[in-house]
Copies of this chain bind each other. A is one copy, B any other.
Amino acid sequence: MDEDELLAKGREVQAQLWPQVAKGPGGAFPAAQLAPEFFSYVAKSAFGMLWSRPNLAIRDRSLVTCAQLAALGQAEELKAHLRGALNLGISKEELVEVMMQTAIYAGVPAANAALRAAAEVLNPPE
């Protein structure tokens, strides 16, 4: 598979997670202006080479990604992947359980921070 095909394969996975983004123009945020090739690298490697592998359902890949981002304290990325998880059909209740369980393995402050981030994505608008 050549790099254009890897990119297309990666974009296809990303479109399952974030259908709205995939349709948009993309690339306008400051980091993408600074290093546009980084984001095509991520699409080709992370999404085109790993997320698209067989042997693990994409729903499970999404769930474990949310869990890792919560454990690592990566709040920005976590919010994006929680949106992706909802788009793949994972329930809000399941995601809250993952955030809560983070307290055991990464500590209560990490779980608190994950729930703060999750509240921005998962709380129903009133």
**Which residue numbers of A lie inside 8 Å of B, CB to CB?**
1-3, 6, 30-31, 33-35, 37-38, 41-42, 44-46, 49-51, 53, 55-56, 60-61, 63-74, 76-77, 91, 93-94, 96-113, 115-116, 118-120, 122-123
Contact = CB atoms under 8 A, between A and B. Distances in A.
Contact of A94 (B45, B55, B72, B76): B55
A42 to B, nearest CB: 6
A61 B101 CA distance: 8
Copies in the complex: 6
Contacts of A70: 68
Contacts of A111: 38
B34 A115 contact: yes
A54 B73 CA distance: 25
A120 B120 CA distance: 24
B2 A46 contact: no
27 contacts: A1-B2, A30-B120, A30-B123, A34-B118, A35-B99, A38-B111, A41-B100, A45-B104, A53-B97, A56-B94, A60-B60, A63-B63, A64-B64, A65-B104, A65-B105, A67-B68, A68-B68, A68-B70, A68-B105, A76-B112, A77-B105, A77-B112, A105-B108, A105-B109, A106-B106, A106-B107, A107-B110
